Amino acid sequence: MRMKEVEDAIHESLLDGRLPCKRAFDLASKLDLSPSNVRQAADDVDARISRCQLGLFGFEDLGEKRLVRALPKITESIEDQIRAALIDGFLPCATAWQIAEEEALPRFLIGCACDTLEVRIAPCQLGCF
């Protein structure tokens, strides 16, 4: 695929000049690229990633940098899954998504559960952090 096609697809997917995480993953699937390749192509055209699906960054247009907040309570099952999946003290983004899928929860709530447990999420599947 030519770089121009990727850049055009990114430009068509921008929201307020930024590429939302969900749209980056949709493009990766559509263009048969890795998510990190889409992020790199977005960087090349000065389009920052926004609206992390875990709520960690990119919500300035909604008045906050990040939307995650500590929850009053999380289930023991979710806590156990998060703690069991830690690698060097961090929960990989891909694993957070997997836990959300297994628990039939929005990804954002796993981000909040991690905030509650003071667990950091890394690495990002797009390579943002």
For the entire predicted model, the pTM comes to 0.94
Domain spans, the chain = 3-51, 76-121
For residue 29, pLDDT beyond 90: yes
Q: Which candidate, 36, 10, 44, places its Cα nearest to that of 93?
A: 36
Is pLDDT at 17 greater than 70 in this prediction? Answer: yes
Decide if pLDDT at 16 tops 90. Answer: yes
Yes or no: say if 37 and 71 are a contact pair by the CB < 8 Å rule.
Answer: no
Residue identified by tokens 């990040």 is: 66
Give Cα separations from 129 to 71, 89, 92, 102 (angstroms). Answer: 23, 15, 11, 24
Reference 10, options 122, 96, 126; nearest CA is 126
Classified as helix, coil or strand, 24 is: helix
Peptide bond into 123 cis (omega under 30): yes
54-89 pLDDT, tens digit per residue, is 999 999 999 999 999 999 999 999 999 999 999 999
Structure tokens at 69: 């907040």
Over 90: is that where the pLDDT of 12 sits? yes
